[in-house]
Structure 1
């Protein structure tokens, strides 16, 4: 669970080789899929010009991998495919997608060997690997997260990626689906008497006997989603400026006690820190939402840093909990 430490949530390499016909087999081309040169301004403010929309794409982070596959462009390469299958079930990677190493340390050689038209990665990965890759292939750097405007940031990233791969119409469709689900969820929650209800979202890990809890504060993507569907994030402690995340412990979680909170958490890897790691912990067991059965594990495979399809999965799970 160390990959969930506060500063380790960011971008990495997602790469894989496949036949040039992979994209055509997965989805029908959109109207702009065979267009001429395309220019997009990436998260660095840098203009990236391609002679034509990219079809052989390597993605360096799970959220971007999901977005590409959702658009009908299966990446030729991706980092940590096994982990992706565990944590992000919004899409399924084709068996042809080549794994090019861990998200933290993708192999530049493996990326380049795939002869991609484009590499997509998040800003937090930093300049060194960007500079290495740009010697061989155009690199599109997404923002990945921005706690000041995470839903709008997601829209910008989806539109940018969709434009670069000639799938603007599909990108607009993904965002329209998300908007429609936000609107319907708000109505469903209001009908269930849950409008304005407090929620909290966390994940955690255990090292030795110490349990660390990572809270999704205001500005985190799922926090913004919760607000958009009419709920209220009860965790008010400021998180980091990029991801809206903050670290605490069981004592810190006591700040949520007595507020009628529904506490959601993620444990897709099968390590349930809250149900198992805190079993018998007097502080945890005494919290009102634990006693009342409002500590809810999300269904496995909902990536809380994902694209529109992951966002819809999260909304579905949350709405179901309030309707139960």
Structure 2
């Protein structure tokens, strides 16, 4: 992302106040905001341990990550801006975005001037996107930084992120309902799985470069792994993943670690690039893995974001339970 000088950003902010390019009055609540958001002030401690104090719960919010965009939309708050709306529509169908939401650039390199021009009263983003953009944005707007993932405690982390965001936008009741709905689905899934309780699973996505297929495994501590454990399944992939996301990279040769285990294999290919059905077609190693020969390979329905909020988690549970019951 280009670096912007203080004077350049100040100019953007001044233009935004005078002629912000939106038909809403400055400070007007975004679509989907309710009277509950008129209360205030509110203070929350974000993922950095920093206290963020707002004069009232935020109504004009920009989100720079899909999981947080989903959470906001699920709470009934339509962001005024979000990062990579097109990609969000492909990968996350749990909480569709209103067409009015402005695209502010990619998740990796959002446009600072686009964010500032929307006159938000809060920006929500994940910690891993880095300090430079946080420092730039905080000159003009409060920034709420979430953890986004923690492979040591991902379900608890998700609860904390939902509660933190819900408090910041004055939607505590809605936040509690999102979490209680997830808890209820976890409990019902255990019952639905029945004899499948205790069964092993593995989950991956992948990509192909030339003739090389790279596979990203969801290991212990990944959000979907914690969900599976919560509903009574066991992750058959035991290799260590990274400490934040619980993810690890391998290739088709590495998949031999799963051979001989009684498991069901799940994968995600929402973008239409199916490296497991197409990229590994005719591959002798893949074709001879026991779970492949047994027909225990399940492509998830498109649009289930495996790093999302409670609604995405419920979608994932629904798909996994359906596969075991089929």
Q: TM-score, normalising length from structure 2? A: 0.91
Q: Secondary structure at the match of 2:196?
A: coil
What's the counterpart of residue 49 of structure 2?
45
Q: Kindly tell me: are residues 233 and 18 of structure 1, through their superposed partners in 2, closer, same or farther at Cα, counting changes over 3 Å?
A: farther
Offset of 1:35 from its aligned partner? 1.2
Taking the TM superposition and a 5 Å limit, the aligned residue runs for 1:26-105 are 26=32, 29=34, 32-105=36-109
State which of 176, 182, 188 in structure 1 corresponds to 2:186.
182
Q: Is the 8 A contact 1:203 1:267 kept in 2?
A: yes
Q: Is the 8 A contact 2:201 2:266 kept in 1?
A: yes
Check if 1:227 corresponds to 2:232. Answer: no
Offset of 1:293 from its aligned partner? 1.1
What's the counterpart of residue 243 of structure 1?
245
Q: Kindly tell me: are residues 18 and 293 of structure 1, through their superposed partners in 2, closer, same or farther at Cα, counting changes over 3 Å?
A: farther
Please say which structure displays the higher CA radius of gyration.
2
Q: TM-score, normalising length from structure 1? A: 0.92
Q: Secondary structure at the match of 2:37?
A: coil
Per-residue Cα deviation, 1:110-164 (whole angstroms, up to 9, x for no partner): 0000000000000001110000000010000000000000000000000000000
What's the counterpart of residue 305 of structure 1?
307
What's the counterpart of residue 318 of structure 1?
320
Check if 1:109 corresponds to 2:113. Answer: yes
Q: Is the 8 A contact 1:195 1:231 kept in 2?
A: yes
Q: Is the 8 A contact 2:29 2:60 kept in 1?
A: no
Q: Secondary structure at the match of 1:247?
A: strand
Structure 1, unpaired ranges of 5+: 1-15
What's the counterpart of residue 9 of structure 1?
none
What's the counterpart of residue 204 of structure 2?
202
Q: Is the 8 A contact 1:17 1:76 kept in 2?
A: no
Q: Distance in 1 between matches of 2:22 and 2:182?
A: 30
Q: Is the 8 A contact 2:125 2:145 kept in 1?
A: yes
Q: Is the 8 A contact 1:17 1:96 kept in 2?
A: no
Q: Secondary structure at the match of 1:33?
A: helix
Structure 2, unpaired ranges of 5+: 1-20
Q: Is the 8 A contact 1:39 1:50 kept in 2?
A: yes
What's the counterpart of residue 7 of structure 1?
none
Q: Distance in 1 between matches of 2:107 and 2:40?
A: 32
Q: Is the 8 A contact 1:41 1:160 kept in 2?
A: yes
State which of 102, 122, 126 in structure 2 corresponds to 1:122.
126
Q: Distance in 2 between matches of 1:17 and 1:126?
A: 29
Taking the TM superposition and a 5 Å limit, the aligned residue runs for 1:6-25 are 19=24, 20-23=28-31
Q: Distance in 1 between matches of 2:132 and 2:263?
A: 43
Q: CA RMSD in A?
A: 1.3
Q: Secondary structure at the match of 2:308?
A: coil
Offset of 1:21 from its aligned partner? 4.9
